[in-house]
Amino acid sequence: MQVTNNEISTEAVFSQEKGRGNNILVLLVSNKKLLIGSCMVAFFILMAIFAPVLTHYNPSNFSNDLSFPPSAKHWLGTTTKGEDVFAQLVYGARVSLLIGFVSAIGSSLLQILFGLSAGYFGGAIDDVLSLIMNVFLVLPGLPLAIVLSSFAPTQGFVASSTIPTGFIVLTLVLLFTTWSYGARVLRAQTMSLREREFVTAAKASGETSFRIIFAEILPNEIALVVSNFVTTTVYTILAEVALEYLGLGDTAVSSWGVMLYWAQLNQVFLGGQWWWFVPPGLCVAIICAGLTFINFGIDELANPRLRSDKMPKIKKQKKEGAVA
């Protein structure tokens, strides 16, 4: 019974606009903003994955080609130390996207944990969790991230491994400073879902709270979770670049923010080397715009207002599911 329930409810979320089932591709094509946004993001993910294929330069190798403007040999020119800017850009995408996405995933998990438990249990649990959420919400995020990462070690590697410490520190800092807003949104949505019939039915059939929260309620607000995840990713990518630009990341590993850090240190805009600082900033802007477009698309597909228009249909389907 629960399985049928879940299938129908997720499907209902995704199929309202066109009613064509939950085929992701159909969904993508059906919404122009979603399609454009996904293409922009996919472009950079592919770029990060195929970095070694796209360039044969090592991003941190010095050469004798100092401060060359873009040419056939160096597509985006070179830095003042002779590093290839295109190679730095392509390999840098790996670091920036990895930290951005991983911290956003972690942040989403925290959002789900806090938001759903606070919204579902209510009472004293809600009071305590809401207090924590609200305190984190009013604490200024970026300054807190700067303070946290300036105290933490950023260079070198985590004990006996090849994972740079800077990655872990930045990921944790971003995770820690971004989760509160999404948690509050999910809490509000959970509070309204808690009153629905299918939750009452699940309670009556003796399901555990854990199961009701994660198997009954969570699938019903998956669109909200996804949209929060995308918003968080935009923030984490922007904040990651900003922190690295301030020199708070691992400045030995090239990423978009670290490129800008070195560019600033070398006073590029007084030397006129636009090819060094323009590309990383443009990449950040394009991928964040892409993510924002995806969010607009999701909003249009899964707007709670649209959902309530389709309510009778969902209820009917659910009843059939319950009977079956």
Partner 1 sequence: MRYLLRRIGFYLIALWASVTMNFIIPRLMPGDPAEAMIAKMQGQQTVTAYQLQALRVELGVNTTDPLPVQYWDYLNNLAHGNLGLSSVNFPHTVVSVIGEHLPWTIGLMAVAVTLSFIVGTLVGIVTAWRRGGVLDSTLPPVLTFISAIPYFWMALALVYTLGFLLNWFPISDGYDIYNTSPGFNLPFLLSVLRYGCLPVITIMLGSLAGWVLPMRNTMVTTLSEDYVLMAQAKGLSERRVMISYAARNAVLPSVTSFSMSLALIVGGSLLTETVFNYPGIGLTLFSAVEGHDYGLIQGCFLVIAVTVLVANFLSDLLYTALDPRVRQGRS
Output 29 or 285, the one with its CB closest to partner 1.
285
Q: How far is the CB of 25 from partner 1 (least distance, A)?
A: 24
How many degrees, rounded to 5, is the angle at CA 320 between CA 315 and CA 324?
145
Q: Residue 303 in 3-state DSSP?
A: coil
Output 10 or 264, the one with its CB closest to partner 1.
264
Q: How far is the CB of 11 from partner 1 (least distance, A)?
A: 29
Question: How many CB atoms lie under 10 A from the CB of residue 171?
Answer: 22
Q: In whole angstroms, what is the distance from residue 308 CA to residue 61 CA?
A: 57
Enter the tokens of residue 297: 């698309």
Q: In whole angstroms, what is the distance from residue 132 CA to residue 145 CA?
A: 17
Enter the tokens of residue 134: 């609200």
Q: In whole angstroms, what is the distance from residue 119 CA to residue 114 CA?
A: 8
Output 219 or 297, the one with its CB closest to partner 1.
297
Q: In whole angstroms, what is the distance from residue 264 CA to residue 54 CA?
A: 26
Q: How far is the CB of 81 from partner 1 (least distance, A)?
A: 20
Q: How far is the CB of 132 from partner 1 (least distance, A)?
A: 9
Q: Which candidate, 108, 128, 129, 137, places its Cα nearest to that of 224?
A: 108
Provide the binding-site residues for partner 1, judged by CB under 8 A: 131, 134-135, 138-140, 142-144, 146-148, 150-153, 234, 238, 241-242, 245-248, 260, 264, 269-270, 272, 274, 277-278, 280-281, 284-286, 288-289, 291-293, 296
Amino acid of residue 296: F
Contact 260, 280 (CB under 8 A): yes
Contact 9, 220 (CB under 8 A): yes
Q: In whole angstroms, what is the distance from residue 158 CA to residue 155 CA?
A: 9
Q: How far is the CB of 133 from partner 1 (least distance, A)?
A: 11
Output 82 or 141, the one with its CB closest to partner 1.
141
Amino acid of residue 292: T
What is the phi/psi pair of residue 78, to 5°? -130, 165
Output 201 or 238, the one with its CB closest to partner 1.
238
Q: How far is the CB of 136 from partner 1 (least distance, A)?
A: 8
Q: Residue 70 in 3-state DSSP?
A: coil
Output 1 or 265, the one with its CB closest to partner 1.
265
Output 167 or 293, the one with its CB closest to partner 1.
293
Output 98 or 289, the one with its CB closest to partner 1.
289
Q: How far is the CB of 274 from partner 1 (least distance, A)?
A: 6
Q: How far is the CB of 200 from partner 1 (least distance, A)?
A: 25
Torsional class of 19: left (φ above 0), alpha (ψ -120 to 50), beta (otherwise):
left
Q: How far is the CB of 259 from partner 1 (least distance, A)?
A: 11
Tell me whether residue 202 is exposed, middle or buried, using C-beta atoms within 10 angstroms of its C-beta: 0 to 12, 13 to 18, 19 or more.
Answer: buried
Output 89 or 213, the one with its CB closest to partner 1.
89
